[in-house]
Structure 1
Amino acid sequence: MAALDLFGRRWVLRIVWELRDGPLGFRPLQQRCDGMSSSVLQQRLTELQESLLVERDEAGAYRLTRLGVEARDELRGLTRWSERWATALEQDTAAEGGES
């Protein structure tokens, strides 16, 4: 349940997702996260570092650890499912609109 508690915190999934392609510095990561406050980003990054999902590289950028990469890979399945879900919702909405 600890993983669900962590991933259920606001912005955690977004941070992991934004780090999916490689390391990012604090400011670029903040910009990719729609400019979330620096205090919240710092708090979430600290939590992710303590959870061994994120680390800082020698240049000071944040990157996923091996465990973080595994989490990212698992999230891709959720992303595929969410795309199917969005399509189903769109089709249902279109069908309801056509019945009027």
Structure 2
Amino acid sequence: MAAGGFCKLPDGTVVVALHLPYGSAGVRVLVHARNRARALTRLRNLGLRAVHLRGNAAPPTPDEITAVLHHPDGLIWRTAPAGDGVPAGELWHPIRALLRGPAMAQG
């Protein structure tokens, strides 16, 4: 369902990045967890049941890794970029802000 990827950190934890359908453009979600399976479980426990990571086509960038490591929950999102860039001026949001919005698109 989701394009994305992961990066294993020196301490053995991982950062998983996923592109999820939401609204017109979708969102990029970052999860910091002990391993890939746990990262996906964290999202599924929030109600995003159909989340899967296949391959490593879009791993998190160094800036994305820094952002998720500095967030207390280790779970953030922002609007997915339309092209190669970052949405202009958009900051990362806690996952709670996404789940309060309109229902996630079912795919």
Query: Which of structures 1 and 2 has the larger relative contact order (alpha carbons within 8 angstroms, sep 6+)?
Result: 2
Task: Give the structure with the larger strand fraction.
Answer: 2
- TM value normalised by structure 1: 0.27
Larger Rg: 1
